[in-house]
Amino acid sequence: MIFDLINSYRKYFEDEKIVLDSYHLQNGIYVLFKKDGTHEILKIDKKNSEENTTTSLYEYIKVRDFYSNYIDSNKALDTSYKEKRNGKVYSTERKICSNNQYTLFFKNRFVEGLIKDPKDTIPADIFLKGIDKYFSSMLELGKNNKKTEMILEKIKDNISTDEEIIKNKESLKQKFLETIELLKSEELTKDTWIKIFLEADELEYEKASIKYTYLRLFNKNDENKIINEKVYGINNYNFGYTTTKKPFTELKSTPFKVASMISLEDIKVVRNMYIWLLKNVTTKDFVKIPLDFDFKVLDDTRINGKPIYLLSVVNDNGTAKVKDFDFIPFYSNTIKPYKCTNYFNTNFNLEECEFITNDINELEKRVSKIWFSNSLRDSYYNYKDIVAKRSMIPNWKKEIIKENKDIFLEFFHKSNNIPLKQNLDKLAFNICYKTLIDEYKDGKTFNAIKAMNLWIAFDEYLGGNFKMIKNDIYLKSKEVVLNKEKIESDEMYFFLIGQVVKYLLSKSKANTKTQSMLDPIMKASSQKRLINVILQMRDKYSYSLMLSNAKFDNILKQILVDTVEKDIVKNKKYILAGFLEENLFYIKDEENLKEEII
């Protein structure tokens, strides 16, 4: 995955231009101290961030902020100074989050005078000693270690000298004290970022960051090697490192199975790419990036008919983490016409079932609404955090989404219909039947019919013949019932079982229709069991059956004596279709007039 992205987009991330174009400052207070002794303060929060992002000060600080951030908290410079005072131990470990001699990044809750609650604060004079440690760490970074010195050798002409680093130490400490005075009257919320900048050219900031950045790019430097005069180390992105004697052992918590070695040049490209992903992709469930993407504007209208990468990326404590990656050689949101209509004889208003579309995104929205309570897209990568917590979705529907979300992701977003085709009948039967159960207690079936219409349309779209067989069975069954003829096929047999069950249950005097009325027939796995259930239902409702109903008696006798060859479980869709159709036993003459269902 990493090398696919490098090979495709290397030219965009060999420098920081693309990253800086989309980089933005996080909430906090930014203080710029100028060489002439003046200072400027930039405050970024949700309320004024849009207003401030257009200023020249914002642009100035944005670039320098980019070159000053640490990679992550585990890769911060060592600032571990400790001091015990009045029985309390103060520690500045991991309290400073910048990486060079021009900046000092920390949160207000760690510095006395910048927050009302003194619980975690450190006296300013002790924090100054932490700054001393910060500078000494910069000076010692990479030295006295053969594995890191090989990196230093490669970058030695491009980094700040020790003299350049140390000359800013006292100035930055003084500006730290001045910042406390400037902000101590501010009512800052807990965990407000305070970022101090010394005025310097952009190139100086870039130069100051190189040493830290290159020495922290690899996951660990323990396994660094020089091969063909290039430095290689363990990839730090989407891989967790074990510190045992077997550093390439699979870690169960990582998204990929095998660690990889990567060159120093390549991992710099990857780092820039991951910063771009963090700023542009982690706010979305997933994105589709065309192979010819110029990294200006992500636009789904420009991916039709192109090879694409599909990426799902999350913000993992300030670092991008790719949850899913796939390459689709040819992606199109235009599909062959998908036609859904009402395939049942009903008086219900089923407008949602009447549509034709060749837009895969429109189809996804309709499926999500009819089958999944508008929760399908949210489930692909955020089922646990979003869908599972929704109280308005029945638990059975959540379970179906959880088990089958990848099937729909493949169909709607990866141009792969094979998983859906292979699982359609089982999946759709569960949806339709459980939808029926939910509404049958009120004597209704229209939501189940809508769900089954979608099933039939999918079957036809994927090359099946459910629609043709179902419609043919209905017309022929109508003739068989009205004219008291013979059942012609196993499919008709199953369809008429659904009709018989519907007719028998219509005789129930119960005010509420329960799941227990339908489960025995829908869960039967043998013909013998089907017949036993029907006989039990006939006996239970015999008090309401007409003394003479030749149409019903003819079909019932055939169901009881005929033998079917086809698998019952695989053909239950015809039983369900028979139950959802108009009941043929209430048609009393050739003009198709119906009695009122009792």
Residues in Cβ contact with 180 at an 8 Å cutoff, skipping those fewer than 6 apart: 111, 113, 114, 124
pLDDT of residue 591: 44
Cα–Cα–Cα angle for 74, 79, 80, rounded to 5 degrees = 95
Nearest to 41 by CA among 186, 208, 173, 207: 186
Helices 572-580, 466-482: axis angle to 10 degrees equals: 60
Q: How far apart are CA 53 and CA 41, in angstroms?
A: 13
The pLDDT, as a whole number, for residue 235 is 87
Please report the DSSP string for 3-50 in residue order.
Answer: HHHHHHHHHHHSSSHHHHHH--PPSEEEEEE-TTS-EEEEEE-TTTHH
Give the H/E segment covering residue 104: strand 103-107
Q: What are the backbone angles phi and psi of residue 102, rounded to the nearest 5°?
A: -100, -10
Angle at the Cα of 472 from the Cα atoms of 348 and 345, rounded to 5 degrees: 10
Alpha-carbon dihedral angle through residues 176, 180, 181, 186, given to the nearest 10 degrees: 140
Main-chain dihedrals φ then ψ at residue 284, nearest 5 degrees: -115, 155
* Distance (Å, whole) CA 220 – CA 209: 19
Q: Give Cβ neighbours of residue 331 (< 8 Å, ≥ 6 apart).
A: 288, 303, 304, 305, 306, 307, 308, 415
Which residues is 43 bridged to in the sheet?
29
Structure tokens at 249: 């052992």
Cα–Cα dist 101/93, whole Å: 18
Q: Which long-range contacts (CB under 8 A, 24 or more apart) does 551-558 make?
A: 551/481, 551/482, 551/484, 551/584, 551/585, 552/500, 552/503, 552/585, 554/481, 554/484, 555/480, 555/481, 555/487, 555/496, 555/499, 555/500, 555/585, 556/500, 558/486, 558/487, 558/493, 558/496
Is residue 288 helix, strand or coil?
strand
Query: Using CA atoms, how far apart are residues 320 and 276, in angstroms rounded to an integer?
Result: 9
According to DSSP, the residues that pair with 44 across neighbouring strands are 28
pLDDT at 405: 97
Give the pairing type, strands 28-33 and 193-198.
parallel
pLDDT at 593: 42
pLDDT score for 494: 96
User: If you write DSSP's letter for every residue of 398-412 in order, what string do you get?
Assistant: HHHHHHHHHHHHHHH
**Which of 473, 440, 345, 518 is closest to 448 using CA atoms?**
440
Q: Are 236 and 259 within 8 A, CB to CB?
A: no
Are the CB atoms for 106 and 97 separated by under 8 Å?
yes
Q: Specify the DSSP element, H or E, that contains 339.
A: strand 334-340
In degrees and rounded to multiples of 5, residue 540 shows phi and psi of: -65, -40
Tally Cβ neighbours within 10 Å of residue 260: 15
- Spatial separation of the C-alpha atoms in residues 66 and 74, rounded to whole Å: 18
Q: In what order do the strands lie in the sheet with 28-33?
A: 39-44, 28-33, 193-198, 103-107
Instruction: State the first-to-last Cα distance of the chain, in angstroms, to the nearest integer.
Output: 63
| 350 in Cβ contact with 450 (< 8 Å) | yes
| 310, β-bridge pairs | 288, 326
Helix (H, G, I), strand (E, B) or coil at 459: helix
Q: Show me where the domains of the chain are located.
A: 23-206, 281-331, 333-464, 466-598
Backbone angles phi, psi at 294, to 5 degrees: -100, 5
DSSP letter (8 states) at residue 69: B
The parts of the chain modelled with pLDDT lower than 50 are 242-244, 248, 250-253, 590-598
Number of residues in the chain: 598
Bridging pattern class, strands 28-33 and 319-331: unpaired
pLDDT of residue 590: 47
d(CA 190, CA 110): 10
How would you class 86 by CB atoms within 10 Å of its CB: exposed for 0-12, middle for 13-18, buried for 19 or more?
exposed
CA distance 400 to 226: 51
Greatest alpha-carbon pair distance for the chain in Å reads 108
The answer for residues whose C-beta is within 8 angstroms of residue 68's C-beta and 6 or more apart is 98, 99, 100, 102, 103, 105, 195, 197, 205, 209
Q: Residue 272 gets which letter from DSSP?
A: H
